Amino acid sequence: MSIFCKLFLVFILCSSTFFAQKTVGIYYVGLRLEEPLVNDIKTANPSNDVTNRFSSKALFPQYLIDSLNQEVIRFSEKLTGGKAKYIYKISATQDTVFTSSGGEIEGFPRNSKKAALLSGCDEYLDIRFTLLSKGGREIPMPAGKPSFYKPSLLISISKFDKTGVLIKKYKYNFTEFYWKSNVKKTVFVKHIIDRRNALLHPEDLYILLRKGFEMTEEKIENNE
């Protein structure tokens, strides 16, 4: 083999290693709602038959869960610069997938770091958002209706390397949801059943959580 061919092979190997995108395993996503907010969902959407915060029935309609899944993946990939995927905990019989429950929005992984490390990813993420009914500023409701709630958002994100060593931890407490000057703050869904008072619907809570991801991105970018 000529020297040129050897050098070319070395270049190809080095290039493939350099451009290989790292994999990021998301093993825990907790999008938790405080109990008064869960009860609001039940009152605002009686057809959903949501019982309480320990209910096995879906808190959110599937289309909102799908949108939140996309948002979590997008956020994780922007945070890490890698290709993100969920790592679910599966029962020994391989017929049960453990997902978020007990006041958390369903459908997201609820795994342990120890189990996740077996997947061989380059980095791992533990993401936890807790939306509280108090602690912040009042959010304007459609049609000027009053609101019982002044929501705030607690955020904790832990990033680990492939051996499970903590790389970075982010913790924020957002007490005000803000929008850019050209976007109205009253962005909540205006026509869903009967709002009846100050009820927050799943669509409203989805908007707050999505805004929380955006605000977290801005906070991280400004601090790093």
Bridging pattern class, strands 23-33 and 83-86? parallel
Beta strands in the chain (DSSP E): 23-33, 83-86, 89-90, 97-98, 123-132, 152-161, 166-174
Residue 206 lies in a domain: yes
pLDDT of residue 94: 62
- pLDDT < 70 regions, the chain: 1-20, 43-57, 93-95, 100-102, 140-147, 179-199, 224
Q: What is the DSSP string of 50-68?
A: ---TT-SS-SS-HHHHHHH
CATH number of the domain where residue 138 is located? 3.30.160
pLDDT number for residue 73: 97
Residue 79 covered by a domain: yes
Domain assignment present for residue 1? The answer is no
Instruction: State the DSSP code for 108.
Output: S
Determine, yes or no, domain membership for 35.
yes
C-alpha to C-alpha distance for 91 and 73, rounded to whole angstroms: 24
Is residue 12 included in any domain, yes or no? Answer: no
Range of the domain at 61: 20-223
Q: How far is CA 193 from CA 86, 167, 197, in A?
A: 34, 46, 12
Residue 83 lies in a domain: yes
Give how many domains the chain has, as a whole number.
1
Considering just the CA atoms, what is the radius of gyration of the chain in Å? 21
CA nearest neighbour of 198 among 30, 70, 74, 40? 40
Q: How far apart are CA 187 and CA 169, in angstroms?
A: 31
Please give the distance of CA 110 from its chain centroid, rounded to a whole number: 12
The answer to whether residue 197 is domain-embedded is yes
Cβ-based neighbours of 48, under 8 Å, separated by 6 or more? 41, 42, 57, 58, 61
Is 4 a member of any domain? no
Q: Give the model's pLDDT for residue 191.
A: 45
In eight-state DSSP terms, residue 95 is -
The sign of the torsion formed by the CA atoms of 34, 126, 168, 223 equals: negative
Quick one: CA torsion of 203, 141, 210, 185, rounded to 10 degrees?
A: 140
The overall pTM is greater than 0.85: no
Instruction: Take residue 74 and report the two structure tokens written for it.
Output: 């997008």
User: Would you state the pLDDT for residue 57?
Assistant: 59
Residue 37, phi then psi, degrees to nearest 5: -70, -40
Backbone angles phi, psi at 116, to 5 degrees: -65, -35
DSSP string spanning 27-52?
EEEEEEE-HHHHHHHHHH-GGG----
**CB atoms closer than 10 angstroms to residue 32:** 18
